[in-house]
A and B are shown apart, each in its own frame.
Chain A
Amino acid sequence: MIALADGASSSPLHFVEYFLDHRSEDLGLLWSHTWLSVVPVIVGLLIALPLGWVARRHRWTYPPIMSITGVLYTIPSIALFVLVPPLLGLDTLDPLQVPIALTVYSVALLVRVVADGLASVPEETTQAATAMGFRPLERFFKVELPIAVPVIAAGLRVAVVSNVSIVAVAGTIGLSNLGQLFTQGFQLSTPDAYYPPIVLGIVLCVLLAVVLDSAVVLLNRVLTPWRRAVRT
């Protein structure tokens, strides 16, 4: 808990002062929030790539894979957080419960994106690659995957931005991340409203979402130089 500094203003605009007063703690929250928003998406993508490939390669697996991931994506985040430990046999309040739940969401979202991205590769292109002597695995990494990058990147943007918001929900069950600022603000708001930590939390979350979203957009541009060449 943070003690209120003497004479600290409760105006919403004083979130900058609040940040400077508790810099090291707030930066720690921002760092763990960033980590929790990014790593599950990367792990999720690594799991979704082979699954999406299977769903595309063996058509009969597409409907069951999509229904299962659809059901997982339907479960509200807070419920998934508390359900992960008993289902996986972890301790209740295991530090891994939130990263695992977030990874599940990312997989659920990205499997479809990967499968649809691979489906967007023109048939002639794969045939041409085969004719040029690419083996299946080589063709996947050197031809199909690069062509699917824009579609996958669009899915990654959704995954990353929604993760930032879901991680804040994890703050309400006691994880230390930017969600804690909301809890602090709420507790400090009796009897009178005390806005700075709440506003600071919202501002940092939005900034983080914008930065991560732009990073994916940039990555997409770097990975698909041929698209720029066509446009100019």
Chain B
Amino acid sequence: MIGDVFTWLTDWSHWTDTRFDTGIITQLLAHIRFCAMALAIAMVIALPLGLFIGHTNRGRWLVGAANALRALPTVGVLVLLTVIISPQFQGRTDTGFLIPTVIVLVLLAVPPILANTFAGVQNVDPGVRDAASGMGMTGPQVLFRVELPISLPLIFSGVRSAALQLIATATVASYLPLGGLGRFIYDGLAQQDYPQMIGGGVLVAALALLTDLVLSTVQRYVVSRGITGRYSTKQVGAPDPRLAVVTEAEGARA
């Protein structure tokens, strides 16, 4: 079986589009496209909100409310929104499935980013904050020059855990007629073409691992060395995505 999967993955004709089938490259780009879209929207919503709530300590209930969202079964919400929204786009290719999928993905990505941004700003040592204002920094200066850099490791672990959930859930979205790497898993299952199904699983797992690797590399360069304690030789490991889940007290993974 492993040999068959290898054969399926290394057959170039599976990577390019043919008259009958969409190839791996196209599905991979589709997968990345809606994950990136959802992650961007979620960050635009959750980052400013988390910074605001953490800095002013107002509206903490929002963080709790966002966390409660996570008890919802992702597949169920995906199907529900599709059934509500897709009839409005009858006949227009993928749009009817794309919109509910992106909404669900955004709903999924907001809680970990929001909770971690909030927790990051909250956990800043009050002495550091006082010292910053004592030096004459204004509120926004304290937020952007002190609190934000110090919370970056936690914010990153939130973004990483959000990105992983997006990749996982975007795969499940192929269960609805929508493109993405999940196509190979669900089509392989339906056609009892198990090398294709397992090959799809390999691709999804590889995408998730690579994404996490890329984000952790970005994190290494963005987070100040004064915070990670990573000077030339001694190094502290990057926070691991599970940490985000645990610090948020409650979590669901698709």
Main secondary structure on A side of the interface with B: helix
- Chain B, residue nearest A210 (CB): B71
B74 at the binding interface (Cβ < 8 Å): yes
Contact of A74 among B2, B5, B87, B241 (CB under 8 A): B241
Contact of B250 among A109, A172, A205, A213 (CB under 8 A): A213
Complex contact A86–B198 (CB within 8 A) = yes
A11 at the binding interface (Cβ < 8 Å): no
Interchain nearest-CB distance for A226 vs B (Å): 22
A165 at the binding interface (Cβ < 8 Å): yes
Contact of A174 among B73, B164, B189, B205 (CB under 8 A): B189
- Chain B, residue nearest A87 (CB): B2
Contact-size category for B? 35 or more
List residues of chain A with CB within 8 A of the CB of B82: 186
A60-81 Cβ-contact flags toward B at 8 Å (1 or 0): 0001001001110111111111
Complex contact B76–A78 (CB within 8 A) = no
B179 at the binding interface (Cβ < 8 Å): no
List residues of chain B with CB within 8 A of the CB of A63: 237
Q: Which of A19-27, A118-126, A137-145, A156-164 contacts B (4 or more CB under 8 A)?
A: A156-164
Complex contact A76–B246 (CB within 8 A) = no
Complex contact B171–A76 (CB within 8 A) = yes
Contact of A109 among B73, B182, B242 (CB under 8 A): B242
* A34-88, CB < 8 A from B: 63, 66, 69-71, 73-83, 85-86
7 closest Cβ pairs, A-B complex = A76-B168, A82-B201, A79-B204, A205-B73, A79-B201, A202-B76, A168-B73
The contact sample of 22 A-B pairs, CB cut-off 8 A, is A74-B164, A76-B208, A77-B168, A78-B185, A79-B208, A82-B201, A83-B201, A108-B242, A112-B242, A157-B250, A162-B251, A162-B252, A168-B75, A169-B254, A172-B175, A173-B189, A183-B79, A201-B73, A205-B72, A206-B72, A206-B73, A209-B71
Contact surface of B with A, Cβ cutoff 8 Å: 1-2, 5, 70-80, 82-84, 87, 164, 167-168, 171-172, 175-176, 182, 185-186, 189, 194, 197-198, 200-202, 204-205, 208-209, 212, 237, 240-243, 245-246, 249-254
Q: Known contacts A76-B164, A161-B252, A209-B71; can you find 18 more A-B pairs with CB under 8 A?
A: A78-B168, A78-B185, A78-B204, A80-B205, A83-B202, A92-B198, A105-B253, A108-B242, A112-B243, A113-B246, A164-B71, A182-B79, A198-B79, A198-B80, A202-B72, A206-B73, A209-B252, A210-B71
